[in-house]
Chains A and B, each alone.
Chain A
Amino acid sequence: MDQPLKDSPVHHIHHKMLPVWFFIGILLLVYGIIILYVGIREFSHPAPVVLASYHASIWGGSILIFLGGFYTLRYWPRRQR
């Protein structure tokens, strides 16, 4: 009868791949641009939401652009050694 098979040990493998932060940066940056654009349009076409005067889309879009831009530039492939 076969002996019970023990779990094989896990190996560490290092790949040179784009970090997840880069993908996050790109998506947030694109989202930020879209939302900021919508936010600017809302000055002439206000959204039917509570506290519209606070222009959440302007703030949200700006934060997304800032975060997305930071991650995109920080982890841009050409900047990696």
Chain B
Amino acid sequence: MWLSHPSLSTLAIWQASGNRLISLAPTDILIIILYFVMVLGIGIYLKNFSNTSDDFFMAGRDMSAWVAGLSFLSANLGALELMGWAAAAYQYGILATHFYWIAAFPAMVFLGLVMMPFYYISNTHSVPGYLQLRFGESTRALSGISFAFMTVLMSGINMYAMALVMKVVLGWNIHFSIWVSSLTVAVYVTLGGLYSAIFNEVLQFFLIWLGALAIPILGLIEAGGWNGLVSKIHERVSGDYVHLWAPLGSFSSNPMGVNWAGIVLGLGGVIAFGYWTTDFLVVQRAMTARDLRSAKMAPIIAAYFKMFVPLIVILPGLLALGLLPYKLVPQSATGPGMHSYNEVLPLMLARYCGPGLLGLGVTALIAGFMSGMAGNISAFATVWTYDIYRPYIRKRESDQHYLRVGRWCTILGVIASIGTAYLVTHFQSIMDYMQALVSFFIAPLFGTVILGMLWKRATNKGGFWGLLAGTVSSIAMYTAALIHPDWLRYIALSSDAKPMAENLYRALWSWLICVGVTVVVSLCTEAKPAAALKNLVWAYTDISNDHDQPLYKRPLIWGIGVGVIFAVLQYIFW
């Protein structure tokens, strides 16, 4: 998940420190070229099916649960994620796995079982669209404009990060990477819309798994299995790097500087629920499912695969900790011949993969970056067209008009992303600020949406002022900690807290403030009539309980299944 993930900030100072990490053979180049040919071919093929705005923005709402689910997961499984969390695993040990387990399963299952029905039954195009139906125009405007602004910037940052990684890892020219990737994304998303984005995300899912799977398999063989790896880690570093919960008793007993309450309430609670249930980038994928049961199943299917992503992300980091004959250092400490934490994944790839497999691994990284851009651009085009252009600029135009606007939006979004990428090239601290900027909106937005869905008494004014108060309070806490770093102890409730804890607790407080203000303002304003809340609020929505389905098709049963796997994994690695 994007929030708190270390790569984004550390990448900002990740400069090429000499020679490239990996040299590609002609076979590897061929594999990369074939990938580009395939994504462009898919875009050209899918243009034939993007004939209406619902095709272009919602993929015809005809995706199966599997396609929607894998796309839902892939939208979050970008290359920055993989490289960043592999680096975090080297730095913090298995604690980084919390971002894949407790920060995923409960929220994803909750989205599928509780929230997805409202998004789906309300028949809207977007999360801001739901907010408009539930809380009115001003809440939609606040959410839509901030989301459109952020997605296009995030796409640019993704583009820049890819160019930087390709420069460090492969020695490629930074302009070459930016222009080739952005033109490819522009072509295939403009032609096929969300169809293209989803097809390429599912393709990326396979490439990432198959491209990275050699590392954990060969790594565990080299280490002598899990027990051998644990012994090697204990020989090389002091501290607890192999337990999930045992070191979380206090802020000072683990390298992350966070305690169990921050992980459970801040990460697993507010941040995870905010991200997975209200970030339109991922929710859009589930909304494309062909029926309600598929829409509910999509995030649950994704949760199963998310549980096993640590195999290809966290385990390589731990393997590097136990096996690499040299020590990786923080970026700021790198010198000639030294490598930083961020280089863990490419280093491990080069350690085990010869020509061919190496090309597949690099292709997986490129695919991860490009589908990250495509995901942001397609979500931007949808929100811009439906939540900004249509309600505020041209209200009653033909479907073909909005389809054309969507295509132009895609091109403009790519151009804006390229601009952002070059802006970041000159002002790299923007990456840090952007990460914070995104976090300002997500946690309070979850407060607004969940109250809107579950509490019929929430009013338009309550929703708007709650969202605004939560966002402003988050910005205020961030600014306070920036100006007075010692104030962190008030935000995170401990003088031993580290920046990671600040992110978690800031999200928690801003969510509580949003909920508190929404409740108070709602109780002071006139309630909405029941007719205006039909299919928007729990009390006035007839949600299928799937009892007509056989057990093995019921989302609840699959949700319980992923919960059992989660519990077993926590027990094993406690």
Contact = CB atoms under 8 A, between A and B. Distances in A.
B203 A56 contact: no
Nearest to A13: B60
Given A11-B54, A24-B206, A34-B356, A5 B391 contact: yes
B351 A24 contact: no
Given A4-B137, A24-B206, A27-B34, A42 B354 contact: yes
Nearest to B395: A5
Interface in A24-78: 24, 26-28, 30-31, 34-35, 37-39, 42, 47-52, 54, 56-57, 60-61, 63-64, 67
B108 interface: no
Contact of B58 (A10, A14, A42, A60): A10
A17 interface: yes
A60 B352 CA distance: 12
A31 B31 CA distance: 7
Nearest to A30: B34
A70 B464 CA distance: 52
A21 B198 CA distance: 12
B210 interface: yes
Given A7-B386, A18-B45, A24-B203, A51 B352 contact: yes
Given A6-B133, A14-B60, A56 B67 contact: no
B354 A57 contact: yes
B206 A56 contact: no
Given A17-B49, A35-B357, A27 B35 contact: yes
A49 B396 CA distance: 62
A52 B221 CA distance: 12
A38 B356 contact: yes
B125 A7 contact: yes
Interface string B33-62: 011001001100110110010110010111
Contacts of A54: 218, 221
B30 interface: yes
Contacts of B390: 5
A31 B133 contact: no
B360 A60 contact: yes
Contacts of B360: 31, 35, 60
B285 to A, nearest CB: 13
A6 B132 contact: yes
B119 to A, nearest CB: 10
A51 B41 CA distance: 37
Give the dominant DSSP class at B's interface: helix
A4 B360 CA distance: 50
B163 to A, nearest CB: 24
B199 interface: yes
B203 A20 contact: yes
B136 interface: yes
A5 to B, nearest CB: 5
A49 B350 CA distance: 7
Name, among A15, A37, A42, A54, the residue most crowded by chain B CB atoms within 10 Å (CB to CB): A15
Interface in B2-28: 27
B202 interface: yes
Contacts of B129: 7
Contact of A20 (B58, B67, B356, B391): B67
B257 to A, nearest CB: 34
B222 A23 contact: no
B512 interface: no
Contacts of B290: 12, 14
B27 A38 contact: yes
B395 A56 contact: no
A8 B41 CA distance: 32
A70 to B, nearest CB: 12
B356 A57 contact: yes
A4 B187 CA distance: 34
Nearest to A4: B137
A31 B35 CA distance: 10
A56 B357 CA distance: 8
Nearest to A19: B67
A56 B353 contact: yes
Given A4-B137, A6-B133, A50-B352, 7 more contacts: A13-B54, A13-B61, A26-B38, A28-B206, A38-B356, A48-B354, A57-B356
10 contacts: A4-B136, A9-B124, A13-B54, A20-B199, A23-B41, A23-B42, A35-B360, A47-B355, A51-B218, A54-B218
**Complex A-B, nearest 6 residue pairs according to Cβ-Cβ distance, in ascending order:** A47-B354, A13-B60, A38-B356, A35-B356, A9-B123, A7-B129
